[in-house]
Amino acid sequence: MLRRLALGVVTTLTAAALLLPGTTGTALADTVRTSQQSVLRTLDVEHAWKVTKGRGVTVAVLDSGVDARHHDLAGSVITGKDFTAGATPRGTAEVRLHGTYMASLIAGHGHGPGAADGVMGVAPQAKILSVRVILEDEEAGFRKFNSDPRYAGVVAKGIRYAVDHGADVINLSISKDRPTEAEREAIRYAISKGVVLVAAAGNDGTGKRTAPYSYPAAIPGVISVAAVTPALIRASFSNRNSSVLVAAPGVDVLGAGPGDEYWVGRGTSQATALVSGVAALIKSRHPAMSPALVAQALSSSPARKSAYNTGTGFGVVDAYRALTVANTLARHRATASGPGVQDPARAVGKGAHDTPAAVKVRRDQRTIAISGGIALAGLVSAAASLIVLILLLRRARREEHDDLAMSPPQPPGLPT
């Protein structure tokens, strides 16, 4: 859900049209950055930036492509493989709107003196790896791309490509109704390589108590992100289900568009990109941190503590608090250590303090058969003895009854 940013009049903000009647270029640039302040303040990025701005991290944006020449992204974008090749007629220009928008929210670095103008992303010093796996609705090859079986596995291929080309975080501001086994395997592969995956919870929640699950967000191991309003309540369109882990601003979020444009939009896509930026900050500070611990840092970061709910998960992510939690988590080992703990790299029972090896018991089948026979004979003997005892008791009761029947009756009035 996107619309071009307009200030007072219906106009597109581009590098060629930054001046509006009654304004100056500086004033307009200030308005762009000012429009971001609510979102950046909600995420508490200014405090986080005192720790890290994402240097050394690569975030793969699996989307519709990124405009690497946008002045707020110039020098930060690596253009990767286009898995949609062949769907669009030759010579047709790529739109790259959605992908550029998401990339700017993650790693936009602004422009101009002191980078004071334009969009500033959550991790402005991170790199973007653009991997094209979807087409914009208005692109000429959109219908062919969504109906041709050749493109059914592009997301899985894109994930593997991103992992193999240095991605630390993968942003998936995309969704569909059903996952494929190839996507599940690709996600397992990414996690096994320490790559964090962040995906959109979906925009089908309007009027629904429990919205459908969206994929790949609902695949285990993926951080599913919901959208909230400026009031920090669930946006009405944001899917509500048990896969949701955290939330971020997703209403009236400003970002960059191709050709030095700026756009305002709403959706779980925007919220996902913002959380990917926070994940990039964590990976910059702790490169070896596992995806599971990154997810724990994110889910432990919300400033407003409340019980988990399927609308916003554990709450709205706070970048500075996420880094603080990550610092704590980083002090712990993934495996136990110390006296008496078995070294997983060594065979069991090889050290003085290692757990002794288990004793292997040899089963003697002949002895087992004899013992079983004796036990069975004992059981039969006990059963026979019980039957004899019951018969003797019944016989004794019958004889007693017969004796009472043969006794003469007592005269009336005499004691019995």
Q: Active-site positions?
A: 63, 98, 269
How far apart are the C-alpha atoms of 148 and 159, rounded to whole Å? 20
Q: Which residue has the tokens 């990025």?
A: 45
Contact 170, 60 (CB under 8 A): yes
Give 243's contacts (C-beta < 8 A, 6+ positions apart): 201, 213, 214, 217, 218, 224
Question: Sign (positive/negative) of CA torsion 371, 373, 374, 378?
Answer: positive
How far apart are the C-alpha atoms of 402 and 100, rounded to whole Å? 106
- End-to-end CA separation in angstroms for the chain: 104
How far is C-alpha 150 from the chain's CA centre?
27
Tokens found for residue 341: 């703990």
Give 325's contacts (C-beta < 8 A, 6+ positions apart): 296, 297, 300, 301
Q: Is the preceding omega at residue 216 within 30 degrees of 0, hence cis?
A: yes
